Amino acid sequence: MNFFRNKTTRVLILAMCALAFIGITISRFYYKNLNNSIDPRIVGARTLYEKYNGYAQNNEFDSIFYLMDTIESIYANSKHYKDSYETGVLYNNRAASFLIMAFNVDTFDRTVQDSLIFLAEKSAEQSVEIYTRWLNVFRNKNEEEIKDIISPDFYSGLENFSPDQKKRYLKNRIKELMDSRIETERRLSVSYTNLGIICRHKLEYESAANYYTRAIELWDRNLTAENNLNILLNRPLKKRNFIQKLFPPDRDKN
């Protein structure tokens, strides 16, 4: 029993690392280029994300879930964004938050914990589905091909803007999509890591190992997935070296 508790503690720590990575990635991606080229339909969603890291650091779960729901409703109002990678980010953030609650709140009994694990699993699965579908469409496309894909529905809701403004929004969106392809593979890797954590908690070790392996295949610097797999295989845990600490993977230029 002590062995299981020690393992659970390690899983909690690694899950929290995954959540921290997601928060940093979102912050980096959403706010570095806010300007008049950003699609006005979703500026509100990106502005709301400024509150996310603070809520996550303080484990303000009610605020996190309300924030996620509000942001998702903004994306849902635009056909172009409804099923884009941004929605996948929301679902995986929910999954990570449910995991943190399940493993970190001592007042929850086993029934509540199991319910939170179930919600985390469903959210992570949804994020995997969205990321995978999005990557299948955009992964190997060039700028012109992306333009052809998104142009038919992108301008819906922008009728009151000038042609020059609409072109600027489209051009910026194409750049965002191109820049997001590598990052979205890493996001998908984190989603698989969270599913591995969930399976491991449910004692489904083979499934957990498969998820960790898929996560590492997508992103070979996913140390959280690698160390969870090392725990399952009774291998030594790996530490980041000095260079990796100074330049963590989320700072890579995409």
Q: Which pLDDT belongs to residue 213?
A: 96
- From the list 235, 234, 189, the residue with the least C-alpha distance to 212 is 189
Tell me what percent of the chain is helix, strand and coil, each rounded to the nearest 5: 80, 0, 20
Query: The domain spanning residue 190 has which CATH number?
Result: 1.25.40
Neighbours of 138 (CB within 10 A): 19
Over the stretch 71-127, which tens digit does the pLDDT of each residue have?
A: 999 999 998 998 899 999 999 999 999 999 998 877 778 899 999 999 999 999 999
pLDDT for 8 equals 54
Q: Is 73 exposed, middle or buried (0-12, 13-18, 19+ CB in 10 A)?
A: exposed
Please count the structural domains in the chain. Answer: 1
DSSP code of residue 205: H
Q: Determine the pLDDT at residue 26.
A: 47
> What confidence tens digit (pLDDT) does each residue in 65-81 have?
999 999 999 999 998 99
**What is the span of the domain harbouring residue 13?**
2-251
Give the pLDDT of residue 237.
Answer: 86
**What pLDDT sits at residue 241?**
52
- For residue 104, the model assigns a pLDDT of 82
**Cα–Cα distance for residue pair 238/226, rounded to 1 Å:** 8
| pLDDT for res 1 | 44
pLDDT at position 18: 56
Number of helical H runs and strand E runs in the chain = 12, 0
b/e map of 226-253 (b: 16 or more CB within 10 Å)?
bbbbebbeeeeeeeeeeeeeeeeebeee
Length of the chain counted residue by residue: 254
Listed as ranges, residues in the chain with pLDDT below 70 are 1-35, 240-254
How far apart CA 219 and CA 216 sit, in angstroms, is: 5
Contacts (Cβ under 8 Å, ≥6 apart) of 242: none
